[in-house]
Chain A
Amino acid sequence: MPTIVFASPKGGVGKSTAAVLLATELAGFGAAVTMIDADPNKPLSLWARRPGKPNNLTVVADVTEDSIIDIIEAAALKTPFVIVDLEGTASMMVGYAMSRADLVIIPVQGSHLDAAEAAKAIKLVRAQERVFKRTIRYTILFTRTSAAIRTRTLQSIEAEFYQNKIPMLEAQLNERDAYRALFAFGGTLSGLDSAQVSNIPAAIMNARIFSNEVVKMLKTDMPVALAKEMA
C-alpha cells in the first residue's frame, strides 16, 4: 500500500541508490514493487536493463509532470509498494509526487549544502500539509556516510535537524563500493560477485537495516517524529 517518494532538490545525494536498495530488499522478501523513474537521467531504467532485476519488481519510466499522479495512483492499485525516484531539482513533478506519498524520504549527504537543499524539500512537504490539512510523513536519510567515522560536520547537521524536530532515520547508508557496483552490473547486492566487489556482506546488512527501519515506520500510523520519540 505505501507510496514512498525519494526527494531532494540536489542531485547526486543517493536518491536512486537508496531507492534501488529499498526496492530490491522489499522484493527479496516477496513483496511486489513498482519503481517509478521520474529522473530525466533514467538511473533506474538503466539499472533495470542490466541482468538480475527481481521478477516481482517493475520499473516504470517515461514519466512527465502531466502523468506522474496518474502513474503513481495506478501503480498503487497494482503493487503493495510504490517507490518514486525524483529528479534532483525543484520541480512541479516533486510537488505532485509528494501529494501522493505515504512517506517522503529525503537523502542528505553529510554536508551543509545538502542540508540546506533538504530544507527546501521539507518546506514543500510542510506547505502541502498546511494547505491540504493532511499529514505527509517524511524523514531524512543520511547517505554516503563513513561506516567508521562520524564527522563533526555530520554531527552538527544531525544536531541542527534534531533541534528543529526534523525526523531522521537511525540507519544511514554508508559509502560502499557495492552500491556503485549495483548500477554497473545490475541486479541485487546478493547477486554481485565478491571477486569484483568488496565487502558485499556489510553492504547487504547496511541496506537491510535501512529497509527494516522504513518498513517498521510504514507499519505505524503515527507521525515519524512521534514514533521516534516513543521508541
Chain B
Amino acid sequence: MSKQRASIFDEPIDLDVSSFSAKKSVDTKAPSRAQVKAVTQALAA
C-alpha cells in the first residue's frame, strides 16, 4: 500500500465541489429515531 504524503513540491490541487448541492427533500427511507435507538442499545448490551 502506498501512502500519499503531503509535499510542498507537489502540484496544487483544486477541489471541484461544483456538482454538490443541498438536498431537495428529507430522506423518507432513513430509519426512525426509535429504530436507531434500538440498534445502538442492542449493540451496547
A: which residues have CB within 8 A of B? 1-2, 25-26, 28-32, 69, 73, 76-81, 90, 92, 94-96, 98-100, 123-124, 127-128, 131-132, 134, 147, 150, 158, 162, 170-172, 174, 201-203, 205-206, 208-209, 211-213, 215, 218-219
Q: Are B8 and A201 in contact (CB under 8 A)?
A: yes
The total of chain B residues at the interface (CB under 8 A) is: 38
Minimum CB–CB distance for B8 against chain A, Å: 5
Cβ contact of A1, chosen from B4, B16, B22, B44, cutoff 8 A? B22
**Residues of B close to A127: CB separation below 8 A:** 39-40, 42-43
Distance of A215 Cα from B16 Cα, bound (Å): 8
Q: Are B30 and A100 in contact (CB under 8 A)?
A: yes
Q: List 23 A-B contacts (CB under 8 A).
A: A1-B20, A2-B20, A26-B15, A28-B15, A29-B14, A30-B18, A76-B22, A76-B23, A80-B17, A92-B37, A92-B40, A92-B41, A95-B37, A123-B43, A124-B40, A127-B40, A131-B31, A132-B35, A134-B29, A171-B3, A174-B6, A212-B15, A213-B4
